[in-house]
């Protein structure tokens, strides 16, 4: 099932004031902050990449693959998305832990 754009807009709104952009990928969406792909929205569910600092902050958050064959990621429930400060911190520590984008 492809993700609906209304879901993407809702998630981006929940991540405000961070500058997060979404790129369409095969009916799903990749999320980017400071040039780093830190999350996916697949089947109308937000998945944030697992990093060591993110795991410390996330606590007891379910993990699962966003699509078959993918690495497990944090599966962020609608209730956790509403915890604005927690979500902002998770995005920041995750992006900081990811490699800097390379110039082409």
pTM of the model: 0.94
Return the structure tokens found at 6.
């209304």
Instruction: State the alpha helices, DSSP H only, in the chain.
Output: 5-14, 52-58, 78-81, 84-97
Q: What is the pLDDT of residue 52?
A: 96
Spatial distance between the Cα atoms of 98 and 39, rounded to a whole number of angstroms:
11
Spatial distance between the Cα atoms of 37 and 97, rounded to a whole number of angstroms:
11
5-97: CATH, from 3.30.1460.30, 3.10.180.10, 3.30.960.10, 3.40.50.2020: 3.30.1460.30
Confidence of residue 1 (pLDDT cuts 50, 70, 90): low
Question: Other CB atoms closer than 10 Å to residue 64's CB: what's the count?
Answer: 11
Q: Where are the domains of the chain?
A: 5-97
Asked if residue 91 has pLDDT above 70, the reply is yes
């Amino acid at each position: 099932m492809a993700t609906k754009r209304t879901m993407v807009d809702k998630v981006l709104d929940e991540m405000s004031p961070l500058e997060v952009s979404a790129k369409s990928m095969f009916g799903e969406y990749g999320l980017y902050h400071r040039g780093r792909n830190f999350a996916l929205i697949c089947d109308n569910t937000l998945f944030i990449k697992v990093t060591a600092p993110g795991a410390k902050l996330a606590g007891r958050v379910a993990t699962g693959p966003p699509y078959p064959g993918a690495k497990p990621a944090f599966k962020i429930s609608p209730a956790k998305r509403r915890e604005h400060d927690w979500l902002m911190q998770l995005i920041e520590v995750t992006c900081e832990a990811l490699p800097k984008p390379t110039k082409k």
